[in-house]
Chain A
Amino acid sequence: MEPESLESRINRATNPLNKELDWDSIDAFCEQLNKELEGPPLATRLLAHKIQSPQEWEATQALTVLETCMKNCGKRFHDEVGKFRFLNELIKVVSPKYLGTRTPDKVKDKILELLYSWTLGLPQEVKIAEAYQMLKKQGIVKIDPKLPDDSPFLAPPTRPKNG
């Protein structure tokens, strides 16, 4: 079988025509970015683009991919997400000065929830905490989001059982 590019994998994992989350494609994207030398920087660029989609379902799927990769991929990916270069792309989506006024609330809430969970789960990524504090100072985060009951960072997202 031909190896697929990260780009074609993210397109499949976030396809707006998907009826439900396509876990096989999400996992395949995470696995592949770990294998490639330039996987993490390329993956974060692709994810940022999808997260900024005006289509709520496409953005939601991209956020699930991001969340899953943060849980399953290693430090190389964490370090890439922990750069302002990527964090700024998330900030743009929630900030009314950028795309925030036309972003669905569900997408904004999910981004703030993810950022907050990473400040707890990855305290060594100091830029994530700095970005989150800035959003608080700007009044974009009013109170810390309530995280799901399972562990805020380490537990994988709930996924349906196959079959």
Chain B
Amino acid sequence: LGEESEERDDHLLPM
């Protein structure tokens, strides 16, 4: 579960 939520929180920088 921890890994899944980390994945959801990992976003490319807005440009």
Contacts and interface: CB of A to CB of B under 8 A. Distances in A.
Interface of A: 83-85, 87-88, 91-92, 95, 97-98, 127, 130-131, 134, 138
A98 B15 CA distance: 9
B15 A85 contact: no
Contacts of B13: 84, 88, 91-92, 95, 98
A130 B13 CA distance: 11
Mostly, the A contact residues are helix
Interface of B: 10-13, 15
Contact of B12 (A87, A97, A98): A87
Given A84-B11, A98-B13, 7 more contacts: A84-B10, A91-B13, A91-B15, A92-B13, A95-B13, A127-B12, A131-B12
B15 A88 contact: no
B3 to A, nearest CB: 10
Nearest to B9: A85
A84 B15 contact: no
B15 A83 contact: no
